[in-house]
Amino acid sequence: MLSDEQWFTEYCEEAGSAHSFRIKARLHEEQTRYQKIEIYETTHFGKLMVIDGFIMLSARDNFIYHEMLAHPILYLHDAPRRVAIVGGGDCGTLNEVLKHPEVEQVTLIDIDERVVQLSEVHFPELCGRNGDSRAEFCFTNGYRWMAEAPGESLDIIIVDSTDPIGPGEILFSGEFYSACEKTLKNGGMLIQQSESPLLHMDILQGMYREMKGAGFSHRKSLFFPLSVYPSGWWSASMARKGEPIGGFREEDARNRPFRTRYYNVDIHRSSFCAPEFFYRELGDAGPPASTEVFTG
């Protein structure tokens, strides 16, 4: 909501809280077939993308989110060749995945083509690899695409989704996770943004439960700061098909042939450290049996 004093405020009703950003100008507003998209210029966070009243990203801190959704899971997989991104129309996650030379194909599946088109105009820094020959764009329902994809055809699935409301709700369901499990090769991995562990443990509990019901017995979460999202503390949760989530390719991560602003080997290790309440409230998702998960 934009006030008369030129502050955009997102209300987090379930937490009884809100956060605001001072606005210089509204740059774009439209109602697409699927959602309302707004672009603002802020005084301190650069451009801000808002969908259906919820902040999606800012120019100032989106690199943290996109790097943490892409690089940890790509370095946890032995040989990530074929990747699908469900959602992620701002193209930031796609941009990070395509930095990995071992990746041969990335398919971005987003229901609303306008998100990509507006990102190319207002966030060109996130879209610089959209023309990469390894990138493919499919503007369709993410659940339907995954359900119809050939079995055992992907190494990595990244779910860069909105909150579990409206069109994004199906992406947190057992049906969707079952479709992902079918589509992943043995040892393949899924990662999905999983909200704030401080405010949304019920969502995380539901994700862990539905992932397990879909056949993913190995699940784990990582954590990172993000100032534009409720509580400023965010998470992503991953699952692996048929194998434990073990050590990462530490030497490859240390000698990565590209620059990052947030991700590094120490961040990779530390991001998996969780507070005690997280283990308690997730039940069977207790601490790792070995430090191998963190040290490689």
- Any idea which residues carry the catalytic annotation? 160
How many residues does the structure list for the chain? 296
Query: What pLDDT is attached to residue 294?
Result: 36
Pairwise CA distance, residues 174 & 210, whole Å: 5
- Burial (CB < 10 A; 0-12, 13-18, 19+), residue 197, is buried
User: Does the 62-295 domain belong in CATH 3.40.640.10?
Assistant: no
List the Cα angle 184/186/192 in 5-degree steps.
45
Q: Are 78 and 247 in contact (CB under 8 A)?
A: no
Query: What pLDDT is attached to residue 291?
Result: 36
- Stated pTM of the model: 0.94
Query: What pLDDT is attached to residue 168?
Result: 84
Query: What pLDDT is attached to residue 295?
Result: 34
Bridge-based pairing of strands 184-193 and 233-240 is antiparallel
Pairwise CA distance, residues 194 & 32, whole Å: 25
Residues of each domain in the chain carrying CATH 3.40.50.150: 62-295
Residue 134's alpha-carbon distances to 86, 152, 216, 230, in angstroms, are 16, 19, 28, 34
Q: Consecutive sets of 10 residues in the chain, 296 residues long: mean pLDDT of each?
A: 81 92 97 96 98 96 98 98 98 98 98 98 98 98 97 98 85 97 97 96 95 95 96 97 94 98 98 92 57 37
Residues of each domain in the chain carrying CATH 2.30.140.10: 7-58
Q: Regarding the domain delimited by 7-58, which CATH topology (the fold level of the hierarchy) does it fall under?
A: Spermidine Synthase; Chain: A, domain 2 (2.30.140)
Query: What pLDDT is attached to residue 286?
Result: 47
Query: What pLDDT is attached to residue 293?
Result: 40
Query: Is the torsion defined by CA of 76, 79, 85, 90 positive or negative?
Result: positive
